[in-house]
Homo-oligomer: A and B are copies of this chain.
């Protein structure tokens, strides 16, 4: 697929509703299920997505557009959600994510990005030179990655319950 800004926004728009449909009203056992030590559960992942809305995507896009390669992005804290989410319910997090995503998509629309701006370059602290286009594509793929991760984390809760079917279920890591 070619990059298209409109298509990228389609993915970014679906994520809050997808998370809400997947997770609203589930028992805590599903929300707290993870893939093992040092892996995230659904609650952690929604918190991580919130931190991305606050600290990552639109902020980095503006750095690229306004300051170019001369200002290296602030490194992203992959563990900020463990502090930020303290005391909040999953319903709180889903609402917060939906609100922030909506604000960020409004900011993106206000930028009215032109094709030549999509090639603008920035400097990632570890990856080096990246473009606005790559950042936006990554934002969308990052959403899909975490939707898949939530499905894996929940499925892992039932890994001992499926019996011999485990070998057919790739999501449990033993299938194909």
Contact = CB atoms under 8 A, between A and B. Distances in A.
Interface stretch (A16-24, A43-51, A106-114): A16-24
Contacts of A6: 27
Interface residues of A, number: 60
B151 A145 contact: yes
A6 B25 CA distance: 12
Contacts of A134: 161-165
A165 B2 CA distance: 17
A164 B129 CA distance: 8
Contact of A161 (B18, B133, B145, B160): B133
A69 interface: no
Contacts of A162: 134, 137-138, 141
A55 interface: no
A137 B168 CA distance: 13
Contact of A148 (B135, B137, B152, B159): B152
A28 to B, nearest CB: 10
A86 interface: no
Given A142-B169, A162-B138, A17 B21 contact: yes
Interface of A: 1-4, 6-7, 10-11, 14, 17-18, 20-27, 29-30, 33, 124, 127-131, 133-135, 137-138, 140-142, 144-145, 147-149, 151-152, 154-155, 157-165, 167, 169-172, 175
26 contacts: A1-B33, A1-B157, A2-B161, A4-B29, A7-B29, A11-B26, A14-B23, A21-B21, A124-B164, A127-B165, A128-B164, A130-B164, A131-B163, A137-B161, A138-B163, A138-B169, A141-B159, A141-B169, A144-B151, A144-B154, A145-B169, A145-B171, A145-B172, A147-B148, A147-B151, A148-B171
